[in-house]
Chain A
Amino acid sequence: MKFTYLDHIAATPLLPEALEAMLPYLTEHFGNPKSRHGLGTRPRLRVAEARQAVAELIGATSPEIFFTASGSEANNMAIKGVVHAHKKKGNHIIASGVEHFSVAHPLKRLEREGYRVTWLPVDRCGRVSPLDVERTICPETTLVSIMHANNEIGTIQPVSEIAAITQKAGVYFHSDMVATAGIIPIDIGVLGVDLAAISAQSFGGPKGVGVLYIRRGVRLAPIIEGGVQEDGRRAGTENVAGISGMGAAALYAKAHLGAEGERLAGLCHLLTQGLLKQVPLLHATGDPHRRLPHVASFAVEFTDGEALIRTLEQHGIFAASGSSCSADALKISPVLTAMGIPANIAQGAVVFSLGAGTTEADISTLLSVFPECVERLRQVSPLYRAHMRRVA
């Protein structure tokens, strides 16, 4: 059976360009960049090149790019690092209620340690209001952490408006950009954030590499220490092959994301319009306009998201019912809950994320089987039958 893979948020196939950039550093150029003999030279130069490529992808300079082992690590490093380094100033943090677990969980731990976290609400589209940020900042606030975009609902946050507020207040602003970097154009200077987390695998790079952008002059306490790597801010022998792959993917993304973004947004539009037309009691979630080009998200009433995913898989279609990081743990997405979507609707969440390999034919395949998959599930739902009797 031919597969229709629409779960690029969970895992994206490695770009051939990235793999090609990795292989020499898994074979002949295997040296440790910190070695001073000849074997260290090529790896050291390649790490510098990759750092430059990632810097250019987001409009930063290479000394502001720090490699980590994942976007999750970068988020942890930013939050714990800033909060601990500036605890003399205060113990208050502001975050949105729709952050990824790698932001929310470190913050929950800080709450247990005595820090005060203000969790900002979001509107029906999943957006934070900059006014709320302005209203809740106080002299004790050291950090605001609001993601650039949420990959479960696709909503892009008003990051630059929030940055204007944090800059005026002299508060650090961290943004989880795992869902956006390499997908939509980013100029970090224009956005105005002080820290940003990025993941290579979001844009065709390898798993196991991420980046924390740290604006020049921002002080933070390291979470992994004991070596001179990454300017002493993140110790551990560099994952040269992985970093090289991330560099190649960044270069590719910078050249292609504009056109690719338009193409994917077009396919998402087709998908969304098609489903809305064909399936009753189906809602598109997230912001209809300010959204990621490659994510189409829905809540399907009288349907269980997990069951729907499994039914689609029987037709060779791979999608997700929420974040893969939480797929095991939860039935109802906390993101949808924060948006005020009732539990009985939120449980029917389904997320399609498109990528380089996605074509119009994939969308047609999905549109041709999705309605009957939903119908099949609804037929066995007593709630749905009751509902139909009510409307009839």
Chain B
Amino acid sequence: MDNHSTTPVDPRVLTVMLPYFSERFGNAASASHAFGWEAQRAVDEARAQIARLLHADSEEITFTSGATESNNLALKGVVQRYREKGRHIITVATEHKSVLDVAKRLEEEGVEVTYLPVASDGLISPDDVAAAMTDKTILISVMLANNEIGVIQPIAEIGEIARRRGVLLHCDGAQGVGKIPVDVREMGIDLLSFSAHKMYGPKGIGALYVRKQSPRLRLVPLIEGGGHERGMRSGTLNVPAVVGFGTACAICEKEMPMEGIRLTEMRTRLKDQIFLSLEEVSLNGHPTRRLPGNLNMSFAYVEGESVLMGLPDIALSTGSACTSAAPEPSYVLRALGVPNSLAHASLRFGLGRFNTHEEVDYVAGRVTQVVRRLREASPLYETAKGAVQRA
């Protein structure tokens, strides 16, 4: 139940990839012979499938190695390309590290960065975005859905503000694309990062949507060379992965409505069972404006890490895998104003396509059991309970 970290490759995706590992091994850039044409055709088809999921055009999809690269390309590429226009960007305190770390690097290079705060439900206010804008603002970067608390930001409203002020909007869609509907035109998104391995496709492939008209965007590339991807990102295309990515998107497009309902149902069931059997549990993030598969809860008086150790057979996490080497409490929960003690006591549940109702019941039961056991051994919990009883 850690589908925010990564997802298994859907067997239907793997099936379409396999021939491109063996007999169809051509280089999509070999324009002069049939092996290359075959690869090129497969890449074109995948690009169209991916574009369809976003209501974009094929030519607006640039393949990368993943959302982290896409985020780097979007932020650095825009800042370098439009530096004459201004040197101010706006982002949010709860963004993924691949946005925040890049923003920090840009600050070192003299770019002014505003980090917007979020409310206690994890949402940003479009008014704050409007208020933070100056004549020098060139870019706003706001994630579609958060990787820890699943909260879905009001992108369309921010898009409208950005559009009115002639500022570009980048959106990190790594968690949201494929899970909730995205329409880049309607939402006013100019750049959108996303990754196949968060939507049942392979690792090592992602994309950046780059708007091609009104306005037509140009970026300074991170990786230059043979001029693949219209000069935006050089390097031989990973054809099998591209093909798998396309199919993953096509499946998401088709199954998203039903899958969303099913995951929301399972999430509610998980939440209700835990809430019913344990006290002093709190939900982190907005109760409904969140990804269907996401649940993030704090269990007072226990360490999230200790709960995980008590559940060796269940794949869960306390937060982002990308920062999991750091023992600090989640900066996302801290930004919501969750006190340190509760931030340390959090668990992230990421339900996905291949989870079942039985697993939900099993996980709810096991988590309850382990939390109870840890609390019984906790002097803090004993003291608190005593105080309640005395009162």
Contact = CB atoms under 8 A, between A and B. Distances in A.
Interface of A: 5, 7, 10-14, 19, 22, 26-27, 30-32, 34-40, 68-73, 75-76, 100-103, 105-106, 109, 199, 201, 206-210, 223-229, 235-242, 306, 309-310, 313, 318, 320-321, 323-329
Given A5-B35, A35-B324, A207-B237, A76 B97 contact: no
Interface in B187-224: 195, 197, 202-205, 220, 222-224
6 contacts: A26-B17, A35-B315, A68-B65, A73-B223, A102-B225, A325-B29
Interface in B286-333: 308, 312-317, 321-326
Contacts of B204: 69, 208-209, 239, 241-242
Shortest 10 CB-CB contacts between residues of A and residues of B: A239-B204, A208-B238, A325-B226, A226-B98, A102-B225, A69-B65, A70-B235, A236-B68, A72-B235, A11-B27
Contacts of B39: 11
A240 B141 CA distance: 29
Contact of A39 (B11, B98, B101, B315): B315
A306 B31 CA distance: 10
B118 interface: no
Interface in B22-68: 22-23, 25-27, 29-36, 39, 64-68
B374 interface: no
A38 B308 CA distance: 11
B239 to A, nearest CB: 6
Interface of B: 2, 5-9, 11, 14, 17, 21-23, 25-27, 29-36, 39, 64-69, 71-72, 96-102, 105, 195, 197, 202-205, 220, 222-228, 234-241, 308, 312-317, 321-326
Given A241-B203, A320-B32, A325-B29, A226 B236 contact: no
A325 B225 contact: yes
Contacts of A321: 32
Contacts of A239: 65-66, 202-205, 241
Contacts of B31: 324, 327-328
Nearest to B4: A32
A3 to B, nearest CB: 8
A76 B223 contact: yes
A227 B29 contact: no
B87 to A, nearest CB: 16
Contact of B25 (A14, A75, A320, A328): A14
Contacts of A14: 21-22, 25
Contacts of B241: 207-208, 239, 242
Contact of B317 (A35, A76, A209, A224): A35
A171 B237 CA distance: 33
B68 A227 contact: yes
Contacts of A241: 202-204
B9 A26 contact: yes
A26 B33 contact: no
Given A102-B224, A226-B99, A321-B32, A35 B203 contact: no
A225 B101 contact: yes
A238 B203 CA distance: 7
A11 B203 contact: no
Given A26-B9, A209-B204, 12 more contacts: A11-B25, A11-B26, A13-B23, A35-B2, A101-B226, A102-B225, A207-B237, A207-B241, A225-B105, A226-B99, A241-B204, A309-B33
Given A27-B8, A209-B204, A235-B101, A228 B226 contact: no
A236 B98 contact: yes
Contacts of A13: 22-23, 25
B315 A240 contact: no
B322 A71 contact: no
A10 B98 CA distance: 32
Nearest to A11: B27
Contacts of B23: 13
A37 B226 contact: no
Given A10-B27, A69-B235, A226-B102, A100 B225 contact: yes
Nearest to A39: B315
Contacts of A310: 32
A286 to B, nearest CB: 20
B234 A101 contact: yes
B309 to A, nearest CB: 9
Nearest to A77: B223
B2 A226 contact: no
A32 B226 contact: no
B35 A236 contact: no
B238 A69 contact: yes
B223 A226 contact: no
Given A5-B35, A27-B14, A36 B236 contact: no
Q: Which of A10, A14, A38, A242 has the most CB of B within 10 A?
A: A10
Contacts of A105: 224-225, 227, 234
A37 B315 contact: yes
A71 B308 CA distance: 39
Contact of A101 (B67, B225, B321): B225
A210 B65 CA distance: 11
Given A14-B22, A309-B32, A309-B33, A73 B236 contact: no
